[in-house]
């Protein structure tokens, strides 16, 4: 593992002009400049930030130094300049831009480089499930307005995937609920009850999350 990969392991969160995709704190910018200085072609290198996780999974990130002049046409490139005039270009794949927009890259001695991302992972596309009908709209509204605010107290959230037309709604869980020993109880006793009481067409909730990959449980 490279020094940069080691520092990024604690992650939480084209066109060189325009609003930044990712915000860099002063501490993160200083650390990136320090790390880049060790590279032989430092001035040609930018920080590439990509999402390494799949839909329905908690965000995982790939951070690496790469030559920004080799950025793909679809990449988003932004220049981040510090108070001392030194700068770093951040390269984000175009396909990841909206999922990383307004995220913040920070650095602390205890966590290393950490990304705080206000966005939610995309829902996985599961064959046979419906996610674009009137019932789905009802479920998503309830998840947004009541379910996730309740789970936020535990640092978690659910993402609606779809329903099977036979009374079962499918979700994934993220944040503090991903990998949490209490997550199954939370899902069955909390989310399922809330949905079934307010939306009669939903009788059951099934959790599609692979909790063995959770790294930041609220409970242990």
Compute the distance between CA of residue 89 and CA of residue 16 in angstroms, rounded to an integer. 8
The tokens 């909730």 sit on which residue? 205
Asked whether residue 206 is domain-assigned, the answer is yes
**pLDDT given for residue 127 in this prediction:** 82
- Give 3-state DSSP helix, strand, coil % of the chain, rounded to 5: 30, 30, 40
**pLDDT given for residue 219 in this prediction:** 30
Quick one: 77 and 166 in the same domain?
no
**Number of residues written out for the chain:** 220
194 forms beta bridges with none
Compute the distance between CA of residue 129 and CA of residue 112 in angstroms, rounded to an integer. 40
Quick one: 95 and 8 in the same domain?
yes
For 170-215, write each residue's pLDDT tens digit: 988 877 665 555 556 666 678 899 999 999 999 999 888 765 554 4
Range of the domain at 83: 3-116
Its pTM stands at 0.60
What's the CATH number where 192 sits? 3.30.300.130
Q: How many domains does the chain have?
A: 2
What's the CATH number where 89 sits? 2.60.300.12
Q: Which residues of the chain have pLDDT under 70?
A: 1-17, 56, 176-188, 210-220
Compute the distance between CA of residue 89 and CA of residue 44 in angstroms, rounded to an integer. 9
């Amino acid at each position: 593992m490279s020094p940069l990969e080691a520092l990024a392991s604690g992650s939480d969160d084209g066109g060189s002009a325009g609003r930044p995709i990712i915000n860099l704190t002063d501490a993160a910018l200083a650390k990136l400049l320090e790390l880049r200085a060790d590279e032989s072609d430092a001035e040609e290198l930018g920080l590439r930030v990509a999402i390494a996780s799949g839909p329905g999974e908690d965000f995982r990130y790939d951070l690496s130094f790469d030559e920004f002049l080799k950025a793909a046409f679809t990449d988003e490139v932004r220049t981040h300049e510090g108070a001392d005039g030194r700068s770093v270009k951040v390269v984000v794949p175009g396909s990841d831009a909206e999922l990383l927009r307004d995220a913040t890259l920070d650095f602390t001695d205890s966590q290393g480089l950490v990304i705080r991302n206000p966005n939610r992972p995309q829902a996985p596309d599961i064959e046979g499930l419906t996610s674009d009908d009137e019932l789905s709209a009802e479920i998503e509204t309830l998840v947004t307005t009541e379910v996730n605010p309740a789970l936020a107290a535990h640092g978690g959230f659910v993402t609606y995937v779809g329903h099977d037309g036979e009374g079962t709604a499918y979700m994934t869980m993220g944040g503090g609920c991903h990998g949490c020993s209490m997550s199954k109880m939370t899902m069955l006793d909390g989310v399922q009850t809330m949905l079934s009481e307010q939306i009669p067409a939903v009788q059951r909730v099934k959790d599609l999350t692979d909790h063995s990959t959770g790294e930041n449980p609220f409970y242990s």
